[in-house]
Amino acid sequence: MGKRLPKLPELLQEKIYKTGQTRGADDDVIYQNRVLRNNTVLIPYESWSTPFSVPEGETEFENGFIVLVSPRHYFETPMIDAKLQQRGLELGMNALVFYYSRDEWDSYNPAEFQWTPAENRTTPLGGNYVARVPATTALEGGNQIRKGFTTSSSKGAGIRVFEYAAKKTISKCRDQLEALFWLCWDSDLAAIKNGMTRVDVLTRKEDLFNRCTELDLLDYRKLIRARVLNTKQQTVCPLCLERISGMDFFSRMQQAKGREVQDITVTKINLFHIEELRVGEYNHRPYNLGWGHHHCNVVTKDSGIADTLKWMEIVLDRNTNKQDYLESLNSVS
């Protein structure tokens, strides 16, 4: 049994833990809400290949996968079941028909085929289809249709495939992200002000940095190239490159006057993906994660840092060349 390490301040521990979870999802979509990144993945049929690409160094998804086939493709493709089988798929075992439009539901109503909605994320899936059809006021009886994976214990069929990360990868990412907190210029003071003792800080840092070194998670050149550290090996925001304060991990976002919310939980510092999450890649991985300002993260969204910087350069150029702007105003006056 390993030695018991001092605990991190609760808010920081929660923030690091949540980096191993997927983004939020409501009941209107097929995805699970805030679950671990190694859960069952959902793969659109048009993205499916045999064999399907998994993260480097792995042979399979830890909790399996479900391929989602559109009703139109399923019902309008001759000998579809045989073609699915040729690609390693079988309806009700590792594939489902996914209804997401009113037209599909009306044209190929599953009740006509005595189909049942699936409820299991592992083989067998317990049904043939899943549905998330939005409500419409244009039709009488146009209520929302939600079939399959709707119970409290089985809400959502799985996660977006590009959000996936294996359990060991999640653990490595959390270790590296904690190390990046400790590399903030004032992290020791921030941790002590939020409940740790100086001895606790030194003990936990020593253990963590030793583990990160053993796991090759502290290559400072890689971290600098990833824009998460500056040349002084201090943690910076990947977009604006400003030094990050450890205090900001515990500071709530300032709210606009008159629009305050009592239970706001957003802190000034958020998880940042350097190369954005996107289909065909698995970018929740070490040396691709950092901590950044909430505002910088909102600006970057899903565009990635490189494309965001190009866009910002164009915006700055337009605003710098004020003469061009004034001439354009005069031309329409």
Q: Which of 61, 55, 57 is closest to 282 using CA atoms?
A: 55
Are the beta carbons of 119 and 148 closer than 8 angstroms? yes
Q: Which amino acid is at 272?
A: F
Helix axes 322-332, 305-320, angle to 10 degrees: 70
232-258 mean pLDDT: 85
Confidence of residue 321 (pLDDT cuts 50, 70, 90): confident
3-state secondary structure (DSSP) of residue 115: coil
Decide: 184 and 250 in contact? Cβ < 8 Å.
no
Mean pLDDT of 47-74: 96
CA distance 181 to 191: 10
**Residue 136: its pLDDT value, please?**
83
- Distance CA(216)–CA(224), nearest Å, equals 15
d(C-alpha 308, C-alpha 313), whole Å: 9
Q: Residue 326: what pLDDT? A: 66
Q: What are the boundaries of each domain within the chain?
A: 23-163, 167-302, 304-333
The residue type found at 65 is: F
Q: How confident is the model at residue 217 (pLDDT cuts 50, 70, 90)?
A: very high
Q: Pick the closest to residue 173 from 273, 289, 271, 279 (CA basis).
A: 289
- Tell me the average pLDDT across 25-46: 96
**If we measure between CA atoms, which residue out of 303, 290, 297, 302 comes closest to residue 226?**
290
Which has the minimum average pLDDT: 59-73, 145-159, 176-190, 265-279?
265-279
